[in-house]
Chain A
Amino acid sequence: MSLASAAQALLDDTVAAYPQVTSLRHQRHRWTEPLRVAVAGRAGSGKSTLVNALVGDKVAPIGDGCTVWYQDGTSPRATAYPPDLDPYELPLTVTPDGPRTGQVDGDLVIHWPSRVLRQMTLLDTPSGGATLDDADAVLHLTPAARPADLAPLRDLQSSAVARATPVATVLVLSRADEINGGRTDAFVTARQIARRHARDPAVRDLCLRVHPLGGLAAATARTLTDVEFETLAHLAALPRTDTDGALLSTDRYLAAGLPAELLHRLGLPGVRLAVVLARTGHDTRLTLAGELARRSGLTELRDTIAHSLVARTEALKARATLLAVESALDGQWTPKTDALRVRLGRILAEATEFREMRLVATLPELPVRFPAELEAEAHRLAGGDGTDIPARLGLDEPTDAPGMRRHCDEALLRWQVLAEGGVADRRQRRAATIVVESCAAILDRLGV
């Protein structure tokens, strides 16, 4: 039985045993929806900027102190979900600064036509700290990764299921552009810092990955206009001494008569980086925007969201379901509770998906890395490039089942040898064991 069907069956039986727990019944609907990704963090940590960067449009901030849901829709539309009342439609005005709507009490759902939102629903959470039970995955933004900053992540792991599956949270180190005094190498340094945190056991056990992000540059890279590109190209064409003076500080920038709008959109570090990029051959709007997105960390973050979260929608939905079941079981004891708990434990133990997700995330962070070919194969087999069988086996052409089985058998043999002593490092062996599990799961699906 697959993880999804096992989790759904467990959910059905738990709903039968706990008919009074309404949150359990909501879980059933969630299976039919896209993945829900919450953006969380303290005030001023850049939540709305990240939402804009991900949607690729100026949609946030909207609503004050409430959770705003961004869902796909044919036209911009706002619906308010006040607590204890029926939802109602709100008038929505679209301005150049983003959509505007009246004051609401309760959650606000914004329907917005966007390709990104077809695959996932984004939740812009209030700074005060909303419950993240509604989300399947969390992007947690924080300027620094001190113990105090990680406290919300630890809170997310208060239950046993959450601790066993720390795969639904991505830590985003926002304000990466301000490091090193906002010099153009800020993003490089930010990446190094993020890597250091990713190796830190205190951070590693709390989240799937750590990403640096220059929020302003990222959001603007997705929406860079031709006019803005022209300005940047013009700046890049000026002698270096002139631009250096103008880009020394925001005051000097404005004093030089440069457009304030661009400064607000990119930030001074962003402008500096864009000018340097424009000078070094990124001479069209698309290439410049693409490079800005890459440097700002947005490209990597979107890759992680696509490959580690959206591609794993089923596993994350199952995780959310298991969390809800666990919370119901913890809440009250009934004669069926113990049997349900045993089933929950078995599903957790048998699910290779969560271990695979961890493996894909941690492969490049292993203290002793596999040779590049093996690392790529492990990444592929564990579903890092896609969770269907041909993607896992790296087959470009259509292959029949026996052929796929032969490929898988070979890989299984290779990784079994590694797992049973082929590599010396303990964490490498553990990784190899998970790859073996993945191979076994593929063979299972092929029907041996």
Chain B
Amino acid sequence: MSTVATPMWVDILDSAAQACLVHGRTDLATGLRARRKQLLDPALWVIVLGEPGQGKSQLINALINAPVCPVGDAGTTGTPTVVRHAEQPGVTLVHRTARTTLTVAEAAPHIRGREAIRAEIGVPRALLAGGLTLVDTPAAVPGEPWHARLGAHPPADTVVLASAATAELTVAELDLLRDAAATVPNVVVALTKTDLATDWRAVADRNRQRLASAGIAAVVIPVSAVLRLHAARTGDAVLNAESGFPELIVRLNRDVAGKPRELARSAAAQASRAALEQVAAPLRARLTSASAPSQAMARLTEAQRALDDVRRRHVRWQNTLNDDISDLVSNIEYDLRDRTRQILRRVDETFESADPMTAWDEFAGWLDAELKDAAEANFGWLIAQCEWISHRVAAHFGEYGPDALPTWRMHVPDDLDRLVPAIEQPGVEKFTITQKALTGLRGSYGGILMVGLATSLAGMPLINPVSVGAGAILGGKTVHDESKTLLKRRQSAARTRTQRHVDDFFLLVSKEAKDTVRQAHRLLRDHFIDLTDRLQDAIVHSVRTAKLAADADVAETERRQREIEISLRELAGLYRQAQQLQAA
């Protein structure tokens, strides 16, 4: 445009097209450019739409009062036909590659056919001289967009839907109107064939109601092509007024005159708004989808959950270990005590009868072996328990599997022998020959004296065979009693000695066992603390990286959202401008 001042609507249309381009909608931008070009064109493009047999072509013929569009005999229009002003009547058929010029009569079969892209009819009519351009279209097909046969961005300032007054608007017609009204600022329903319909006024009223409830801003103009053509033939002005066409013509002329101003303005506003709406819709959708939790955020939550889990597990495995170890200590002590008590019981039994003096060596060997066995069994059990405990604690680290177990293994110490000291023989009072003789003499002395005194009364000497015999018997008995007493004393000494020995043994071994348990406890604790630390380190690390990623993500989302918001604000600004343009 090289004119002095471009109208404001051109600027807004250009800005909207620019916005479409920025957001990658070249299709919309192309549409807006086509619209701009068309709005700057002073000609008013009126598209006549409708279902078959509603009198579309007849409407155009009656408007310009010339039979240029083929009608009747169900001759449906097959080719879009542009009717505009020309000094000389003529038809140009536009094909994909060629244009042919025909007379109006010759063109009729071509217009009924579908081979040409469009037909352009020029007629010398004052009505069209102002730039009014009428477009006759093939019958609408339900479900197709209104401009299906007119190309992607057909020039259109006003859409006239022809609908016979013999029936109300159908759903398909309302859909067609709604579709057209979305892109074309002026929509008119021409209620045709009012001459035939008995109650066209009621139909018109009902149609107006249906349009209002469907939210379509379209005027309903009842017309009768038959009356108009008849009026033209007979020059009957009253009939012409009855035909309803004057109202339609007034409206179209007003649009022609207003095209560079109001119409162009509202059309530009409407087109810009429709395009901006389409650009904004996906942005808005992205804005809402951006606020949804991202993958990085999900990872962070997961890592934090794992960290909490490890902490909880730390407490739990320590409790398990401590409880199990204290149980073990008491169990081990009881076990050892039980074993030694059994040994002692057998020692007691042994020394009921055996004489330590003769059987000591054999006994010492047996005791030594028994005690060693007990210590070994006790330690073996201890080690098995320790392993079991380590398994139980390791079970808290399920995901580590067998790796959670300590790699070292405990063994029964080889030097258990060292713990069992050799037992010393108790000091034994021996019953020597001299002692026996002295003891025998002491015993026999009393016997000789007692019996000798008694027999001396009988007149026998103090020393006589009877008293000597009694002395011998008593002496023998004393010796025997004495040796028995000594044996008893020896046995008791041996028992005491053994008792003391076993106590020593118990003390030593239980100390050793407790030490071993404590050592195992420490080792296990260190091992699992180490494991927990490693686990925690790994998780803390992953939490840290996840947090970094999430932070970055949030920042990125916010940046994107800000961008979208800015874009949307810009679009909204443009949209408001377009709205103001329409309101102005």
A251 and B242 contacting across the interface, CB-CB below 8 Å: yes
Name A189's contact: one of B72, B142, B227 (CB within 8 Å).
B72
A189 and B73 contacting across the interface, CB-CB below 8 Å: yes
Cα separation A344 to B230 with both chains bound (whole Å): 62
Residues of A within 8 A of B225 (CB): 181
A363 located at the interface, meaning its Cβ lies under 8 Å from any Cβ of chain B in the complex: no
Q: Report the minimum CB–CB distance from B436 to chain A (whole Å).
A: 120
6 closest A-B pairs by beta carbon, nearest first, are A249-B195, A182-B196, A193-B74, A181-B226, A44-B167, A148-B142
B168 located at the interface, meaning its Cβ lies under 8 Å from any Cβ of chain A in the complex: yes
Q: Report the minimum CB–CB distance from B207 to chain A (whole Å).
A: 13
- Chain A residues 231-253 with CB under 8 Å of chain B are 248-252
Q: Report the minimum CB–CB distance from B71 to chain A (whole Å).
A: 9
B128 located at the interface, meaning its Cβ lies under 8 Å from any Cβ of chain A in the complex: no
Q: Report the minimum CB–CB distance from B239 to chain A (whole Å).
A: 7
Q: Is the interface of A mostly helix, strand, loop or mixed?
A: helix
Name A268's contact: one of B73, B139, B198 (CB within 8 Å).
B198
> Per-residue CB proximity of B192-214 to A under 8 Å, as 1/0?
01111110100000000000000
A427 located at the interface, meaning its Cβ lies under 8 Å from any Cβ of chain B in the complex: no
Cα separation A148 to B170 with both chains bound (whole Å): 14
- 4 more A-B residue pairs beyond the given contacts A144-B51, A148-B141, A264-B198, with a C-beta to C-beta distance below 8 A: A180-B73, A189-B73, A192-B73, A250-B198
Residues of B within 8 A of A248 (CB): 195, 226-227, 230, 239
A150 located at the interface, meaning its Cβ lies under 8 Å from any Cβ of chain B in the complex: no
Q: Report the minimum CB–CB distance from A270 to chain B (whole Å).
A: 10
Name B196's contact: one of A189, A192, A264, A267 (CB within 8 Å).
A267
With A44-B167, A248-B239, A269-B196 as known contacts, state yes or no: A181 contacts B53, CB within 8 Å.
no
Q: Chain A: residues with CB nearer than 8 A to chain B?
A: 44, 143-144, 146, 148, 175, 178-182, 189, 192-193, 196, 248-252, 260, 263-264, 267-269
B224 located at the interface, meaning its Cβ lies under 8 Å from any Cβ of chain A in the complex: yes
> Per-residue CB proximity of B49-89 to A under 8 Å, as 1/0?
00111010010000000000000111000000000000000
Q: Is the interface of B mostly helix, strand, loop or mixed?
A: loop
A181 and B58 contacting across the interface, CB-CB below 8 Å: yes
Residues of A within 8 A of B142 (CB): 148
A146 and B52 contacting across the interface, CB-CB below 8 Å: yes
Residues of A within 8 A of B164 (CB): 178
With A179-B74, A192-B73, A249-B227 as known contacts, state yes or no: A263 contacts B198, CB within 8 Å.
yes
| Residue in chain A with minimal CB distance to B141 | A148
Cα separation A182 to B58 with both chains bound (whole Å): 13
Name B74's contact: one of A175, A189, A263 (CB within 8 Å).
A189
B227 and A143 contacting across the interface, CB-CB below 8 Å: no
Cα separation A175 to B74 with both chains bound (whole Å): 13
| Residue in chain A with minimal CB distance to B164 | A178
Q: Chain B: residues with CB nearer than 8 A to chain A?
A: 51-53, 55, 58, 72-74, 139, 141-142, 164, 166-168, 172, 193-198, 200, 224-227, 230, 239, 242
Contact count A vs B, C-beta below 8 Å: 72
A250 and B52 contacting across the interface, CB-CB below 8 Å: no
Residues of A within 8 A of B226 (CB): 181-182, 248-249
Cα separation A260 to B167 with both chains bound (whole Å): 19
A178 and B193 contacting across the interface, CB-CB below 8 Å: yes
Q: 13 pairs across A/B with beta carbons < 8 Å?
A: A146-B139, A178-B53, A180-B73, A181-B55, A181-B58, A181-B72, A182-B193, A248-B230, A249-B227, A250-B197, A250-B198, A267-B198, A269-B196
| Residue in chain B with minimal CB distance to A192 | B73
Residues of B within 8 A of A178 (CB): 53, 164, 166, 193, 196
Cα separation A180 to B227 with both chains bound (whole Å): 13
Cα separation A249 to B242 with both chains bound (whole Å): 10
Q: Report the minimum CB–CB distance from A289 to chain B (whole Å).
A: 21
Q: Report the minimum CB–CB distance from A202 to chain B (whole Å).
A: 15
Cα separation A181 to B167 with both chains bound (whole Å): 15
Residues of A within 8 A of B167 (CB): 44
| Residue in chain B with minimal CB distance to A269 | B196
Residues of B within 8 A of A146 (CB): 52, 139, 141
A144 and B193 contacting across the interface, CB-CB below 8 Å: no
Cα separation A268 to B194 with both chains bound (whole Å): 11
A181 and B193 contacting across the interface, CB-CB below 8 Å: yes
B72 and A180 contacting across the interface, CB-CB below 8 Å: yes
Cα separation A264 to B197 with both chains bound (whole Å): 10
Cα separation A44 to B494 with both chains bound (whole Å): 130
A250 and B166 contacting across the interface, CB-CB below 8 Å: no
Cα separation A260 to B164 with both chains bound (whole Å): 21
Cα separation A356 to B112 with both chains bound (whole Å): 37
Cα separation A179 to B168 with both chains bound (whole Å): 18
A44 and B72 contacting across the interface, CB-CB below 8 Å: no
Residues of B within 8 A of A249 (CB): 194-196, 224, 226-227, 242
With A181-B226, A250-B198 as known contacts, state yes or no: A44 contacts B168, CB within 8 Å.
yes
Cα separation A264 to B225 with both chains bound (whole Å): 22
Residues of B within 8 A of A192 (CB): 73
Cα separation A252 to B231 with both chains bound (whole Å): 13
| Residue in chain A with minimal CB distance to B53 | A144
Cα separation A402 to B230 with both chains bound (whole Å): 69
Q: Report the minimum CB–CB distance from B180 to chain A (whole Å).
A: 19
Cα separation A260 to B172 with both chains bound (whole Å): 32
